[in-house]
Copies of this chain bind each other. A is one copy, B any other.
Amino acid sequence: MSEEFVFTVAAQDGAARSGEIRMPRGVIRTPAFMPVGTAATVKAMYPDQVKALGADVVLGNVYHLMLRPGAERIARLGGLHAFMNWPYPILTDSGGFQVMSLAGLRKLDEDGVTFQSHVDGSMHRLTPERAIEIQGLLGSDIQMQLDECVKLPNTDEAVEKAMRLSLRWAERCRVAFGEQPGKAMFGIVQGGAVERLRVESARALVDLDLKGYAIGGLAVGEPQDVMLAMIEAVEPHLPATKPRYLMGVGTPDDIVEAVRRGVDMFDCVMPTRAGRHGMAFTRHGRLNLKNAKHAEDTRPLDKGSKCEAANAYSRAYLHHLVRSNEILAMMLLTWNNLAYYQELMAGLRKAIREKRLEDFVAETKEGWEKGATDEGAEPVAEGGVDA
């Protein structure tokens, strides 16, 4: 623990790094996967289970929490950590992405965005200052700037306009955040799939000397090689001494490839959402438990896993639970999936420290291929909101 927000890189292997972020509420071991706790809960998980799997930090969503139960209410109740029984670090997304993807009517202007709640139709407003104020009310440890996210594909002009607005908002968020020892405000690199815009965005944000830098607006449907090209374009322009966070990513393969390219932090709804839809991630690839072929398979998901959800229940039973829409199906598959994601991150951290990342990546991919007997549809990530 530390009174300040301190990031240290302990080891490098190629562009990949492993280190830790120390702050008053705990230590985040990087590369880190942050389970998504949209509405103040990592869906279908008790908080102590999440921690026990090795998650050092969870993500909360300004958009959802400001609508229900409200930021001021959470503040009166002692903040988000107390509210959701998670005393460890929390990162909050600022709401920019969700306003675009979830809200009803919305109107953007230079000063902010006015939008309609998808919960009850009421009207709300977010400005850079209000986004930071809300994150302060929540007590968030790592706060994100408000940004404008455009849908891809889009014209370069529209992408550039949103990127520049996001930069101006980053400056205003920085001022609003001020100095908060032990906490951090991250900027978000935008610029769609346009390399020169991404580079310009990164450089301008670095000039603001923020505590960390996110890469936003990716994993929204573009091919993986486009996403990786953007990371490669941006990475040389980000300071080696600051954490890099790839927002809303991704599949285990996306994460492995981004870690190889120097990314330190990830969040994604995939393990939790997939778990609620009958999908299991394992060392041996993905399984779609809805599939009839599992109906009499007495094998567990992965008898070598330390997670009870993976080693103590048969695939036949999980198949039955999924087919019967039982809550326990969602509980067990979410648990299994988060366990696998955290196991993967621990493996990546160890491999980087042992300078054997490329071997680890090869072995990991071989494992997925070898056991990948299942071609179930892959759920799509939706910008850090697990709904």
Query: Shortest beta-carbon distance, A273 to chain B, in Å?
Result: 12
Chain-B contact segment, one of A173-181, A318-326, A373-381: A318-326
Interface assignment of A73: CB less than 8 Å from any CB of chain B: yes
Which residues 260-309 of A have a CB within 8 angstroms of B? 276, 295-296, 298
Interface assignment of A228: CB less than 8 Å from any CB of chain B: no
Chain-B contact segment, one of A36-44, A104-112, A157-165, A207-215: A36-44
A78, A84, A320, A331, most chain B CB atoms within 10 A: A320
Interface assignment of A317: CB less than 8 Å from any CB of chain B: yes
Query: For this complex, into which size category does the number of interface residues on chain A fall?
Result: 35 or more
Give CA–CA (A330, B323) in the complex, Å: 19
State whether B328 touches A73 (Cβ < 8 A): no
State whether B327 touches A327 (Cβ < 8 A): yes
Interface assignment of A240: CB less than 8 Å from any CB of chain B: no
Query: Shortest beta-carbon distance, A387 to chain B, in Å?
Result: 10
Give CA–CA (A78, B254) in the complex, Å: 39
State whether B76 touches A313 (Cβ < 8 A): no
Interface assignment of A360: CB less than 8 Å from any CB of chain B: no
Which residues 51-77 of A have a CB within 8 angstroms of B? 68-69, 73, 76-77
Interface residues of A (CB under 8 A from B): 39-41, 43-46, 68-69, 73, 76-78, 82-85, 276, 295-296, 298, 312-314, 316-317, 319-321, 323-324, 326-328, 330-331
Q: Give the interface SS of chain A, mostly helix, strand, loop or mixed.
A: loop
State whether B326 touches A39 (Cβ < 8 A): yes
Task: Report the nearest B residue to A297, measured CB to CB.
Answer: B77
Task: Report the nearest B residue to A309, measured CB to CB.
Answer: B46
State whether B316 touches A41 (Cβ < 8 A): no
- CB contact under 8 A between A331 and B44, given known A68-B320, A77-B296, A320-B68: yes
State whether A43 touches B295 (Cβ < 8 A): no
Contact of A46 among B43, B83, B328 (CB under 8 A): B328
Query: Shortest beta-carbon distance, A275 to chain B, in Å?
Result: 11
- CB contact under 8 A between A43 and B326, given known A77-B298, A77-B314: yes
Residues of B within 8 A of A312 (CB): 85
State whether A44 touches B317 (Cβ < 8 A): no
- CB contact under 8 A between A314 and B83, given known A41-B321, A331-B46, A331-B327: yes
Give CA–CA (A312, B321) in the complex, Å: 29
Contact of A317 among B40, B68, B296, B324 (CB under 8 A): B40
Query: Shortest beta-carbon distance, A219 to chain B, in Å?
Result: 24
- CB contact under 8 A between A43 and B83, given known A73-B296, A77-B316: no
State whether B43 touches A317 (Cβ < 8 A): no
Residues of B within 8 A of A84 (CB): 317
Contact of A331 among B40, B324, B331 (CB under 8 A): B331
Give CA–CA (A79, B267) in the complex, Å: 40
5 additional contacts (CB under 8 A) given A44-B328, A73-B296, A327-B331:
A68-B323, A68-B324, A83-B317, A83-B320, A84-B317
Task: Report the nearest B residue to A321, measured CB to CB.
Answer: B41
Give CA–CA (A295, B320) in the complex, Å: 37
Task: Report the nearest B residue to A276, measured CB to CB.
Answer: B327
State whether B39 touches A317 (Cβ < 8 A): no
